[in-house]
């Protein structure tokens, strides 16, 4: 019985840590035994049984199975996690800087001690990317991994473009909204993107990556003029991490800098704080993972996924396999299409165009359907016309009733398409 | 020694089967023992030691550990796979129809026999989606899963829009290119999308889905006029599978039909045969997985990923854990930025605008840099102007040399941004 509870020590109770504690509440076979924080007197959003300011209390606690590190930074995390690994604890960490700089040391120590280190949250927050590369996609040879990996800089570049504001103004706005830190260097100079790119390159190409050999350039020199000129040529400017194989050579081209991407590319549509990772490999081809790259909840999703993966691996829960077998399930209660609510596009071929719009309006009103817009596309010589109606959100049953009434009035509906 | 080889029987050697055989070649601890096909005399792209036209030879072979089914259809696959499961074989299948119709029966039988059934390839071909939902994202409660899940119909709708062609003409083109089958019903009437939507809904909501309660409508009624009218309102038309929770109720709204999606949405940018799956859940938020939804290679990627997952689970390979521990790695050989080749955007602030373009051209030519375009943005009263140069692919070292020469000639480069 005791053995069936996974016992966790968490280091860091900031945004992400708080999200993790909240999300883990619904799993009653996982218990947070201790949390380590910098200031134990700070008021917090979550309450825990035991809070300390000494992370080694967690690393050395014989009861704890998994150490979750969401504090960030190298010092003291490197030494604390090494201590925990030597004490045979599994590790879940979101610490991109630590892994980019000391990943090799940490993974080797974990191997020696037969424990697992998972770090899905270290790259692209809530987007599953490390897991898929290591599992579903592991039959592939990859040529390339590139991404928009930093939400702050993508937010600033998007704002510069859409609001026609200078870099300095957008940075200030991002700081006010909490998207950028008081000292924004780590984000705007590309360090954060560099750490994440190095981690992705390591997973994708199975080689140790030397950070000092990665060319890195931030977004501080990008002017509103650059953004406008790029647009004239059909490009947008994005800060991207790039890691690719040099053709026919055992050499990797890894770098971080602003790039012009074609407005037609899918990457150019990734705006604000959204992140994206694009992989190119064989046999899979080109795939793209898009989502929130930071924030309490999305990052917690990845950290909790890692905790559950370890729980499965070491059989602390009833989900033994990574792709758990399907447990017996109840029947879904499924909604009938008539009970759904949608906005509707209705294409009408009106024989008697002049009288029809009024009839359409009357029938819709009678059936509780509000119109968002209605366009009549010219009346032809023979008094016929095409009329397009877009409704507000309406009940499908009401729409079907209206369609019947249209039919009775000889109003021909040529198509009905739902809008989402 | 013998035990360390995973032995596979494959049912179906069509496009996907061939891709699987090719991809598995590089894994020397996985061996394909037998293949079952409809016509053993057909010439094939791959050679195997033993080919039979009786799939039960595979289902009943005591030596085989994993049965890979890439034949499609319910008959005889359902009975063959049930026989294999009763014989304690793990199953990897790409058969969406079989799983949508008989998934519950198959999974329950697999539970009884303590074997695993994996089916990443059944939904969205090469895109990892079932794996991430079941592993990395398993801490989430989902509200919605929607997607463009059928490449044929998305190809037809894209072509209708871009080439201004009728549905019938685009279908014909798709058939000629091999994107659509001679009898296209399964794709164009939404059956394929319905099967995949049902599978996704099952995984995301953990309920048995009744196919007969899914509203289904295909794309055969969509006219080029509809596509044009939708565009006028700022929409594109896509065939989507939709599965969402009805707010505050234990009811699922599952359906397949054409939808109008805003041109500003990311989904509207998914064109041609590309698939996408969009998930909305807590804590992760909204994430989107995009990639090739069909084809020999992408689908093989997913099938092989599942085979390797089973190999890990049953410890037939040295990768025991789902997120395998990192093996000792070599240092990457990393390319210096000066050795990379890129296209460049160069912004120049010209003091003496009238003479500068010639000088720029001369310096670039001298340094092996071809210009793709050059724009001079008006000459001001004081004879200054902004000049924007976009180069063809050039060596970074050449570009840096040119920049030095620009400086010597008092040509001020205000920014240099690489183009990808």
Residue A334 scores a pLDDT above 60: yes
Q: What's the pLDDT score for residue A322?
A: 45
Look at residues A245, A256, A119, A110 and name the one whose alpha carbon lies nearest to residue A195.
A256
pLDDT higher than 60, residue B3: no
Q: Answer yes or no: are the C-beta atoms of A82 and A106 closer than 8 Å.
A: yes
The separation between the first and the last C-alpha atoms of chain A, rounded to the nearest angstrom, is 48
Question: A34-43, A93-102, A387-396, B354-363 — which is least confidently predicted?
Answer: B354-363
Alpha-carbon gap, residue A138 to A143, rounded angstroms: 13
Q: Which pLDDT does position A321 carry in this prediction?
A: 47
Q: Could you say which of B131, B297, B321 has the minimum Cβ distance to residue A282?
A: B297
Residue with tokens 């990996």: A149
State the average pLDDT over residues A5-14.
95
Token reading at B184 = 């296209």
Residue B212 to chain A, least CA–CA distance (Å)? 10
Specify burial of residue B144 (Cβ count, 10 A radius: 0-12, 13-18, 19+). Answer: middle
Could you confirm whether B38 is annotated as catalytic?
A: no
pLDDT greater than 50 at residue B1: no
Contact B283 A254 (CB under 8 A): no
> Is residue B164 a contact partner of residue A330, using CB atoms and an 8 Å limit?
no
Instruction: Kindly state the percentage of chain B with pLDDT values over 70.
Output: 96
Mean pLDDT confidence for B277-287: 97
Q: Which residues contact A318 (CB under 8 A, 6 or more apart)?
A: none
- Residues in chain A with CB shorter than 8 Å from the CB of B333 are 249-252
Peptide bond into A221 cis (omega under 30): no
Q: What count of other Cβ atoms lies within 10 Å of the Cβ of residue A213? A: 17
Q: A255-287 pLDDT, tens per residue? A: 999 999 999 999 999 999 999 999 999 999 999
- Segment among A41-45, B1-5, B340-344, B394-398 with least mean pLDDT: B1-5
- A28-40 pLDDT tens trace: 889 999 999 999 9
When pLDDT is cut at 50, 70 and 90, the band that residue A309 belongs to is confident
Q: What is the pLDDT of residues B14-46, one digit of tens each?
A: 999 999 999 999 998 899 999 999 999 999 889
Among the listed residues B34, B82, B96, B196, the single catalytic one is: B196
Residue B292 above 80 pLDDT?
yes
Tens-place pLDDT, residues B115-174 = 999 999 999 999 999 999 988 999 999 999 999 999 999 999 999 999 999 999 999 999
pLDDT for A107 equals 92
Tens of pLDDT along A212-257? 999 999 999 999 999 999 999 999 999 999 999 998 888 999 999 9
A103: number of CA atoms within 13 Å, CB side?
31
ipTM above threshold 0.85: yes
Mutate which of A128, A254, A257 to disrupt the B interface (most B C-beta within 10 Å)?
A128
**Interval B333-384: pLDDT, tens:** 999 999 999 999 999 988 877 788 899 999 999 999 999 999 888 777 777 8
Q: What is the pLDDT of residue A28?
A: 85
**pLDDT over 80 (residue A323):** no
Average pLDDT value for chain A: 92
pLDDT at B323: 52
The closest alpha carbon to B73, from B186, B213, B227, belongs to: B186
Q: Which residues of B81-108 are buried (b: 16+ CB within 10 A; e: fewer)?
A: bbbbbebebbbbbbbbbbbbbbbbebbb
Note the residue count of chain A.
Answer: 420
B116, B334, B392, best to mutate vs chain A, most A CBs in 10 Å: B334
Q: Which domains does chain A have, with CATH numbers?
A: 2-125+298-313 (3.40.50.720), 130-292 (3.30.360.10), 337-419 (3.30.70.260)
Q: Kind of pairing, strands B141-148 and B274-282? A: antiparallel
């Amino acid at each position: 019985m005791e053995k069936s509870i996974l016992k966790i020590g968490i280091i860091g109770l900031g945004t992400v840590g708080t999200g993790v504690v909240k999300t883990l509440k619904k799993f009653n076979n996982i218990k947070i035994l201790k949390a380590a924080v910098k200031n134990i007197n700070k008021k917090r959003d979550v309450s825990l049984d035991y809070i300390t300011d000494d992370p080694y209390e967690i690393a050395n606690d014989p009861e704890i199975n998994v150490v979750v590190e969401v504090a960030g930074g190298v010092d003291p995390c490197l030494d604390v996690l090494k201590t925990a690994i030597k004490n045979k604890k599994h590790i879940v960490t979101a610490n991109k800087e630590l892994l980019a700089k000391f990943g090799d040391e940490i993974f080797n120590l974990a191997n020696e001690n037969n424990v697992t280190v998972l770090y899905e949250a270290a790259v692209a927050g809530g987007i599953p990317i490390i897991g898929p590369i290591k599992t579903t996609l592991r039959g592939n040879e990859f040529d390339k991994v590139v991404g928009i990996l930093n939400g702050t800089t993508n937010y600033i570049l998007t704002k510069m473009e859409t609001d026609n504001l200078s870099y300095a103004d957008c940075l200030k706005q991002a700081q006010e909204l909490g998207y950028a830190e008081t000292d924004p260097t780590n984000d705007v100079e590309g360090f954060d993107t560099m750490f994440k790119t190095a981690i992705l390159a390591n997973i994708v190409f199975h080689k140790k990556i030397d950070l000092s050999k990665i060319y890195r350039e931030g977004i501080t020199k990008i002017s509103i003029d650059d953004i406008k000129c790029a647009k004239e040529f059909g490009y947008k400017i994005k800060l991207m991490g790039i890691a690719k194989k040099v053709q026919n050579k055992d050499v990797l081209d890894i770098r971080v800098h602003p790039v012009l991407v074609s407005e037609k590319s899918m990457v150019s549509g990734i705006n604000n704080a959204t992140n994206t990772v694009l992989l190119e490999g064989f046999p899979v081809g080109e795939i793209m993972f898009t989502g929130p790259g930071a924030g309490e909840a999305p990052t917690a999703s990845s950290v909790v996924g890692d905790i559950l993966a370890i729980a499965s691996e070491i059989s602390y829960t009833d989900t033994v396999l990574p792709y758990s077998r399907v447990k017996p399930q109840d029947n879904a209660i499924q909604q009938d299409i008539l009970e759904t609510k949608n906005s509707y596009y209705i294409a009408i071929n009106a024989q008697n165009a002049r009288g029809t719009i009024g009839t359409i309006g009357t029938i819709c009103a009678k059936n509780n359907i509000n119109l968002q817009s209605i366009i009549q596309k010219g009346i032809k010589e023979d008094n016929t016309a095409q009329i397009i109606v877009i409704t507000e959100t309406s009940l499908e049953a009401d729409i079907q009733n209206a369609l019947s009434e249209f039919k009775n009035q000889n109003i021909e509906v040529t198509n009905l398409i739902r809008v989402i």
